[in-house]
Amino acid sequence: MNDCIFCKIINNELPANKVYEDESFVSFLTIAPVSEGHVLIIPKEHIVWMQDAPDVMVGEIFKVTKKLMKAIQSSQQCDYAEVVVAGEEIPHFHVHVIPRMLKDNLPKFPTKKYQEGEAEKIAQKIIAAL
């Protein structure tokens, strides 16, 4: 895509601090890190949402993710590497790998409680959609 920031990084039209690249994926430090060493992993093919990606690509990106999790945990001396698949801010499938400490007090995902019987109804809707 002509106006996709990530595609421009892939095509070396925009700078990035790349930490990994192969024929299918590239990973680089995000410009808005949650913690030092926070990277994004993106496919070189422009796909907006993970659910639209071919199964092979999804499997392969998570192999790269695992490799980077280990490298980040080692290099950043963190307790673990959190993985998040989000992406409404940039319309290009990407995986975040975020160095974390067990007691770093970084924000957690907001949660809520289901009302009585609500969880069962939602579960049934998901099952029906499968």
pLDDT in tens, 68-78: 999 999 999 99
Which residues are CB-contacts of 113 (< 8 A; sequence separation ≥ 6)? Answer: none
**Element housing 8 (H / E):** helix 5-10
94 catalytic? Reply is yes
Per-residue pLDDT of the chain (130 residues; tens, 9 = 90+): 679 999 999 999 999 999 999 999 999 999 999 999 999 999 999 999 999 999 999 999 999 999 999 999 999 999 999 999 987 889 999 999 999 999 998 887 788 999 999 999 999 999 999 9
Residue range 5-105 in CATH 3.30.428.10: yes
Burial string for 35-64 (b: 16+ CB within 10 Å, else e) reads bebbbbbbbbeebeebeebeeebbebbeeb
pLDDT of the residue at 1: 64
Domain ranges within the chain, ordered by starting residue: 5-105
DSSP 104-128: --PPPPP---PPTTHHHHHHHHHHH
Catalytic residue among 38, 92, 94, 96: 94
User: Whole-prediction pTM value?
Assistant: 0.90
Q: For residues 40 and 28, is the Cβ–Cβ distance under 8 A?
A: yes
